[in-house]
Structure formats: structure tokens, C-alpha cells
Structure 1
Amino acid sequence: MLTALLSCLLTFGAPPDTVFVRIPVGDYQVGRKGHHLNPLRKVHVNSYYIGATEVTNRLFAAFITATGYVTDAERRHNAMVFEPGLEEFRWLEDSTACWKYPNGISRGGITDKMDHPVTCISYADIQVYCKWAGVRLPSFEEWEIASRAGASTTYFWGEDTSQLSTYANVWHGHDHLRADSTDGYMYTSPVASFKPNAFGLYDVYGNVFEFCEGHLKDEKAVHARGGSWWCSQHSCSYFNSVEIGRVNAHASFSNQGFRVVKKIN
């Protein structure tokens, strides 16, 4: 069965150099029994192509160059960033932070991080990018199916959290009072720095939260999945195929990014 589901890779013209993985049409199991937001269920999806990696600074820079678009963080000066020493779930509002300076100007730019996922962009910004690139965000179900890669477990490899460091850029410290670079990165890592899942997708867990399309229980928030570099087993352990996060559509955080879907013509 899994052999039949193995994905093919395609590169489309826009966005430039994006590699997509083909997910076959079919019925898939998503969710978890008893989960209040994401209950266990079967869904049917048509075949679709999903990005093998998150959208990078290089790809986003091409969009900015082509369109002159100004992001929410650049206009609102309200991006949220992190530095070690903050109490759990505390972030700093930095008026200088934006996609070009994802942790604020004082912490440096992206000149040497063009292969890192773009961050400090909002859901609203992503919608403009997608229209320009001729792509879209995955739905909750599409993201989950691709992340699971045929598995029915919490993680695509099973239930053993000790394997996280093999597949995901996450926070390994007990808290966030001290910097943690256990896996070589304190913030984002270049995309595809860790092992992919069986479908060939990289960084579905960790690195950055990935925005998805869909709404839950009449909420006005938008949603993101997969956890980020900030998430740990002690705080916000959303680096799995079950949990669904929530955020304002115009909020920009240094641990939020996205991957895209290309429809099959």
C-alpha cells in the first residue's frame, strides 16, 4: 500500500525552484480519537501537489522584488520575536522585525539565511504571495495527510519522541531561560536540514509553524500546524500530526511560516 503511495517530485515555474510532492487521490484517516479540535475521522481528497519544503527567504524575496509588496510587520511594526531568558510563552514585540530581520534588526538579517524558511509574515501576507505564485495553502486535512506519510500514529515514524532530533528542529532545553542550540540551531534551520518523512516532505514538524486553510468551531483566528523551533516537549509540543494552533490573521511571529500546494491541472 505504501509503495503505491510513494510520491513523485515536480518543479513548477512559479514560485521559482519549488519542488512539489504528489499526494494521490484517496481516502485517508486524520485526527485522533477523543481530540476536541481534531477528532478521528476518514476524509476523501483529490490528488494534489504539496511543497517538499517550507517557502524560503529566497522565494519570498523573489515575490517582493516582483511585486513591491509591503508585509503586515513592515506596516504595523508589531512582529513578535523571542530571545532566551523570557518566561514560558512570552514574546517581545519588536518594531524593527520583519521578514528581512526576523528576530529584529539588532539580531541580524537574512543575508546568509536565504535557504531558511521565511518568517515574520502573516496569514494575510501569505494570501498575496499565493495569488502571485499561483499556489495556495494546504487545508487542515491535506497538511495532515502529507505530514503522516501513510502512518496513523502521532508522529510519522511512530510514538517515540526520542527520534524528534532526527526529523525536526525543535527546542531541547527544559525551559527557555537559556539558549538551546543542541541540534545546531537556536532559531530556524535551513529547510531540509533534517530527515524527510516517507513521502519526501521535510520539516513538517518543527522549524516553523505552517499556516493552513480552514476554520474550527466558528473561530475568527487562522490556524497553523507542525510546531516550530521554539516548541519543546515541555512547552507547546505541537510538533506532531494532530495538534492545530491558532493565531490572528495579521499577526507576525518569528516562528511562523508556510508551505504551499499546487493543484493538478
Structure 2
Amino acid sequence: MPDTLTTDPGRDTDSVWIPAQSTTVGADNDYPEEGPSKTVSVDGFWIQKHQVTNTQYAEFVSATGYVTVAERPLDPADYPGAPATNLQPGSMVFHRTAGPVDLRHLSQWWTWTPGASWQHPRGPRSSVRGRENHPVVHIAYEDAVAYADWSGQALPTEAEWEVAARGGLDRATYTWGDEPERADQKLANYWHGEFPYLPDKGYGQTTPVGSFPANGYGLFDMAGNVWEWTADFYGEDRSTTPCCGTESYDPSQPQFAIPRRVVKGGSFLCADSYCMRYRPSARRPQMVDTGMSHIGFRCIRR
């Protein structure tokens, strides 16, 4: 068996080998969706060292002519009662607030933005120029799957992703160990400063992939930068594994019959005062038809 830092001999030379193993995933803590912790077994697989970048996604689009969900025209019949401004192609964009806000209301820092897409991450007048090596964002689930299929890869399961993120550390709280980041360290791109209005210098947005230290398997940004899609449907905890999209619907929003998949890893928006979900066990649901300015992905090869 090759060691974990062996380069993938296949199409993607940016991947490393994760050995087959049985280990613990999940956590029994104050986040009920992360428990109960359990032992899982995974076969060995290759996984990309970095999140897929704007340059890599541009190569895919150039080769295939693919149009992402955020760029496609909307059918008003699918959204009865929606304002006309919301019926234009677009995506959800993060905007810093002017000052402290009630953190219970996400709409204060998230805005539906017509014209926002992977090519225009902050809106129609923005571009990815100068951000070629940043992770691609505004990626809906099918956009990630399309890239994975084209590149001869796949999206990881939640268990595969979490095993890789832990870097060989059993039950560790963070990708780097059990102790939180110290003031003199820079271990991951999560929110440093006052959320959601005053980030510390160098934080508060995506950074080029590989800007922070790798974990024990040589993988970068398994904590922070952008959330990453996995192949699994979302269940309310680790004991619930939906078999299909309908079982993953949000019971609190019955008007939205949209499947939800698990995203992992947290993002540049995870603040300790609000959302400590840049830990390996952390997870959240994401509607498959919705990309945002903090959601990307990486691929695996089995």
C-alpha cells in the first residue's frame, strides 16, 4: 500500500492516498447533529489535496460548455409568488454588516444577488481575476458532480471526507489536534475578529488554496476556507441516514421540496462566537440547488 503522501498516478496529480481504516467519526458534544459518534470502516481512496480552484473549474467549463445552476434562467412557474428580481439567475452572496447585529437573523449578511456566480463571486461586476487559485464558489451540488464526472472522479461520502480531514488523528477535535488555535498561530481560514462585520486582517474572505498548514495526510483547507459538498443526503444526526432525497427535506420548511446534502469543513465565515463548524465532526445541510459564496468542493478517486 502506498504511503499517504504518494501522488495520484491518475488524471489528477493533486491527490494523495488515504489508507483503508476503521475509525471514529462524529462527536458527542453540544451540537446534536454531530452525534452519536460511531466507528466506521472505509476503503482506501485518493483525495485532492486542495479544494477545486477557479482555474480548474474554468478548464472544465471551457472543455464542456457547462453552465452552472446559478447561471441558468429561472422558470417563474417553479417559484410562484417570488419577486421578479429573484427570478433572475444569481446566487447568495455574503456581505459584511455595518456593525453588530442579532446573529439569529442570517438575512442581515446574506443577500440574493442576481448575476452572482462562480465567475462573478461578489455580483455581476466582479470577476475571478486575481483569484484564480482561490476555491471555486457558488457551486450547487450538480455543478460539483458534473466536474467530478468530467475529471473521472467522484464526491466523497461524509465518512470518507471526515476520515481524510482528521489526518490520522483519532477523535481529535480539530484537524490539527485537540487544542484550539493559539493567538500566535494561523492554522485555518475561519473568521477571526468580530462577526459578521469586522474581520481581522487577512480573514473574512476566501484565500488561495494551500495558504494554511496541511493536516497529517497532507490535505489543505479541510478546516475553513469554503464548505465542501459530500455525496450523502442529510439526516438530523449520525444515526439517521436518508436513503433518498425526499427523506432529507427540511421538516421545518415543508414548502421547499428540495433534497439536502451534507456539507463539511466550515468556511471563512465560521466564527467561534457564532459557528464553530470548522471541526471535522461538524456538518450542516445544504439544499442541492443552492450555491453560495462560501461553498465549494474537492473530489476523490476510489
Fold match (TM-score > 0.5): yes
5+ unaligned residues in a row in structure 2: which ranges? 75-88, 241-246, 249-258
> For residues 185-207 of structure 1, what are the alpha-carbon distances to aligned partners after superposition, in whole Å with 9 as ceiling and x for unaligned?
43110000000111100000110
Aligned residue number for residue 25 of structure 2: 30
1:158 matched to 2:170: no
* Counterpart-to-counterpart distance in 2, 1:65 and 1:14: 17
How far the C-alpha of 1:6 sits from its partner, in A, is 5.0
Q: How does 1:86-97 map to 2 (within 5 A)?
A: 87=101, 88=103, 89-90=106-107, 91-97=110-116
* Counterpart-to-counterpart distance in 2, 1:173 and 1:69: 38
* Counterpart-to-counterpart distance in 1, 2:200 and 2:112: 23
Verify the 8 A CA contact 1:57 1:116 in the aligned structure 2.
yes
Verify the 8 A CA contact 2:175 2:223 in the aligned structure 1.
no
How far the C-alpha of 1:158 sits from its partner, in A, is 2.5
The structure number with the bigger radius of gyration is 2
The match for 2:46 among 46, 49, 58 is 49
* Counterpart-to-counterpart distance in 2, 1:222 and 1:235: 22
The match for 1:229 among 228, 253, 268 is 268
1:128 matched to 2:115: no
Distance 1:59 1:242, change over 3 A: same
**Secondary structure, aligned partner of 1:10:** coil
> For residues 12-36 of structure 1, what are the alpha-carbon distances to aligned partners after superposition, in whole Å with 9 as ceiling and x for unaligned?
5645xx4111011121111113644
The residue type equivalent to 1:239 in the other structure is: Y
The residue type equivalent to 1:172 in the other structure is: H
Verify the 8 A CA contact 1:38 1:243 in the aligned structure 2.
no
Verify the 8 A CA contact 2:7 2:15 in the aligned structure 1.
yes
Distance 1:249 1:150, change over 3 A: same
* Counterpart-to-counterpart distance in 2, 1:200 and 1:113: 23
RMSD: 2.0
* Counterpart-to-counterpart distance in 2, 1:13 and 1:148: 24
Distance 1:105 1:9, change over 3 A: farther
Instruction: Give the TM-score, by structure 1 length.
Output: 0.89
**Secondary structure, aligned partner of 1:189:** coil
1:258 matched to 2:294: no
How far the C-alpha of 1:174 sits from its partner, in A, is 2.3
1:195 matched to 2:213: yes
The count of corresponding residues between Structure 1 and Structure 2 is: 255
Instruction: Give the TM-score, by structure 2 length.
Output: 0.79
